[in-house]
Amino acid sequence: MKALISKLFSTAVEEPPQIVYTDTPALQGAALSVAYFSPQAGGDFHAFVRVSPTRFLFGLLDVAGKRETSGAIREAAKKCFLTSAEEIFSAAELNESEAMIELSRRLNLEIMRAARGVRSCPAFAGCYNEELGTVCYVNAGHTPGLLRDEASLVELPATGLPLGLFSLAPTDARIVGLGSQGSIAVVSRGVVEAESKRAEFGLAGVKSVMQAGPASARDLSQRILEEVQTFMHMAPKHNDVTALTLMRAE
């Protein structure tokens, strides 16, 4: 009886999921924002690091499985992302596409090593060049990124298979320009799969927020998550719900 009362009490005072923001370093002429609903239950994680005076690397990855079973793999992948990024992008003469492909290769092998076999990990990683206003990215089976400028809103589709599946899986890299007030949004699967009355929020829901033209990267990430909550008529609890956004100010 005491156990039942304790369970009922803990359920009654359980805090609803809240939007949490990750502190991000300042960029030259741009801003990066990461927001997610807590607590996180799946294998989502984000990472970012400055790799040169004019280059900034960011990523959103999703290790398959619940958080309690994917923790070691997630930590190994994050460490690999940060240490490899600094090594690969430190070269004076750098080909960004080749560097992003090499980063993907190392991440793929480290995930398989940590998992002691196969473990799917969709990933989106990008290198923002502050001098040129460009993003060189790889999309390894992740939800498409979205790029908005004054004239259009386009998807940044997969350039390869999810990491962690095949030791020699090839991944391509592409470069896109980020014009004045241009923005990029990368969201977790939990955003697009948010449901209400058997309908999904989908990429269409994210596009609708971007087309409204939020004033800042933080405003964009916040509004994406708020629209998910409005769509569901409740704070989402189904999976990790994360939005990573990059907006150019110039």
Q: Among 29, 25, 22, 26, which residue's Cα sits nearest to residue 44?
A: 22
Q: CA–CA distance from 12 to each of 6, 7, 16, 159, 237 (Å)?
A: 10, 9, 11, 46, 16
Q: Among 127, 115, 145, 1, which residue's Cα sits nearest to residue 57?
A: 127
**Cα distance between residue 90 and residue 52, in whole Å:** 7
**Cα distance between residue 226 and residue 216, in whole Å:** 15
The per-residue pLDDT for range 94-132, each reduced to its tens digit, is 999 999 999 999 999 999 999 999 999 999 999 999 999
Q: What percentage of the chain has pLDDT greater than the value 90?
A: 73
Whole-number pLDDT of residue 61: 96
- pLDDT band for 91, please (50, 70, 90 cuts): confident
Identify the weakest region by mean pLDDT among 1-5, 31-35, 73-77, 153-157: 1-5
**Cα distance between residue 187 and residue 228, in whole Å:** 11
Q: What percentage of the chain has pLDDT greater than the value 70?
A: 94
Whole-number pLDDT of residue 12: 47
The per-residue pLDDT for range 123-166, each reduced to its tens digit, is 999 999 999 999 999 999 999 999 999 889 999 999 999 999 99
pLDDT at 5 over 70: no
Residue extents of the structural domains in the chain: 19-248
The residue type at 231: F
Q: In CATH, what is the architecture of 19-248?
A: 4-Layer Sandwich (3.60)
Whole-number pLDDT of residue 151: 83
**Cα distance between residue 110 and residue 197, in whole Å:** 40
Beta strands 153-156 and 174-177, pairing class: unpaired
The per-residue pLDDT for range 9-27, each reduced to its tens digit, is 444 456 778 899 998 888 9
Residues 6+ apart with CB under 8 A from 79: none
Residue where the block lists tokens 């008529």? 233
Cα atoms in the Cβ-side hemisphere of radius 13 Å centred on 247:
17
Strand order in the sheet with 145-148: 18-22, 30-38, 242-248, 183-187, 145-148, 153-156
